[in-house]
Amino acid sequence: MDDLRDKYIQLIADAGEEAALEALRVQAVGKKGEISLKMRELGKMTPEERQVMGPKLNALKDEINSALSARKASLADAALEERLRGEWLDVTLPARGRRQGSIHPISQVREEVTAIFGEMGFSVAEGPQIDSDWYNFDALNIPSHHPARAEMDTFYMHRAEGDNRPPHVLRTHTSPVQIRSMEKQGAPIRIIAPGRVYRADYDQTHTPMFHQVEGLAIDKDISMAQLKWTLEEFLRAFFEVEGVELRFRASHFPFTEPSAEVDIRCSWEGGQLKVGEGDDWLEILGSGMVHPKVLEAGGIDPNAWQGFAFGIGIDRIAMLKYGIPDLRAFFDSDLRWLRHYGFGALQQPNLHGGLSG
Ligand code: 2U9
């Protein structure tokens, strides 16, 4: 009996894993285990022998069960210790930096422009980027022989032989959007049309795709004075300068009459633009009173209505506001350029002029 005890106590102490302990339990105290078989033999013993052996076998069974439980617990403890040794965590390590995206400067400027004109009562109109040459040119008083049509370096859509649909172009300005809005909603109207436009041109200040925002206000008695006020308000809000000063220079566009190019007073000290001070003038946008022929093309009676229109290059005013010298930086996939000008993931100028990120 003592041999049996010593054997199992030793085997239990040597067991290295839970499965081995379970096998030992079956071998010793399971239904057909060594000790259970011995207990069955009690029936064949004399009452005297049974009185001695019975309690001894019961005690042995208890002892083995306790040893099994104790060993099982200590194996579990050891396994936990081992896991904790392998899975330690240094809570003093600096946190891993999160890569954060940020709004593209063009999108940001477009939002700024939309918000400013929105407060003045202009809503946003959108339209197709591929349009017929009628919407892009004829409706804007640019007939086929007109030099402006050639000047605009237009991308024409390819047409298969036998395709008799009117020629389509990548819009060279957002003006077709205003024509479509005039047709759809009639007068009075106050809209801005921001969006992508396309011209075959590529250098430091031109990219084949760029962004414009054009504005249109038509009512019974809209005047140049209201155009001037609107543009002054816009430029003051956009450049965040109280004293913006504008200069209207007579110009010519086929779609407006009279037409004016608008400059703002500025200085270029140390290569940095300051709006509202200095002795320089910077051309910033084009504008004018909508040509009667253009009103007519949009289905609006030029004898009853009149209006102003303007066009602004979003990329250009974004470059001026944020000091980006090369337009191509906006469309280059190498974002280090933009980061350099304050548009990186870590510095994120937001709509309210602050830095976040
Ligand atoms: C309609 C009637 C008139 C929009 C106008 C300009 C003057 C203009 C340029 C600014 C910089 C184009 O992006 S740019 O190169 N635009 O000078 N745009 S008036 O006139 C319109 C538009 C739509 C129905």
Pick the most confident of 192-206, 298-312, 314-328: 298-312
Protein residue whose Cα sits closest to atom 14 of ligand 1: 313
CA distances from 211 to 184, 199, 200, 201, 319 (A): 24, 11, 14, 14, 12
Ligand 1 within 6 A of CB of 327: no
Does 212 sit in the ligand 1 pocket, CB within 6 Å? yes
Give pLDDT tens digits for 49-98: 888 888 988 998 999 999 999 999 999 999 899 998 888 888 899 988 88
Enter the tokens of residue 216.
């249109």
Give yes or no for a contact between 138 and 175, defined as CB atoms under 8 angstroms apart. Answer: no
Parallel, antiparallel or unpaired: strands 130-132 and 168-170: antiparallel
Determine the pLDDT at residue 354: 41
214 lines ligand 1 (CB under 6 A): yes
173 vs 56: CA distance, rounded Å: 104
pLDDT tens-digit series, residues 130-163 = 999 999 999 999 988 887 677 668 999 998 899 9
To test the ligand 1 pocket, which listed residue (207, 210, 259, 285) has its Cβ within 8 A of the most ligand atoms?
Answer: 285
Mean pLDDT in residue range 289-305? 98
Decide whether any atom of ligand 1 lies within 6 Å of the 125 Cβ: no
Residue nearest to ligand 1 atom 16, measured at CA: 311
pLDDT category at 332 given cuts 50, 70, 90 is: low
Nearest CA to ligand 1 atom 22: 175
- Strand 189-198 and strand 123-124: the pairing is parallel
Confidence of residue 27 (pLDDT cuts 50, 70, 90): very high
Q: What is the pLDDT of residues 134-143, one digit of tens each?
A: 999 999 999 8
Residue nearest to atom 9 of ligand 1 (CA): 311
pLDDT, mean over the chain: 88
Work out the pLDDT band at 235, boundaries 50, 70, 90. very high
Please state whether the predicted TM-score (pTM) of the whole model is above 0.95.
no
CA 313 to ligand 1 center in whole angstroms: 9
Distance, CA of 148 to CA of 252 (rounded, Å): 11
Cβ of residue 127 lying under 6 Å from some atom of ligand 1: no
In the chain, % helix, strand, coil (3-state, to 5) comes to 45, 20, 35
Answer whether 109 contacts ligand 1 (Cβ < 6 A).
no
Would the pLDDT of 347 be above 50? no
The larger pLDDT score, comparing residue 355 to residue 53, is at 53
| pLDDT tens profile 238-257 | 999 998 999 999 999 999 99
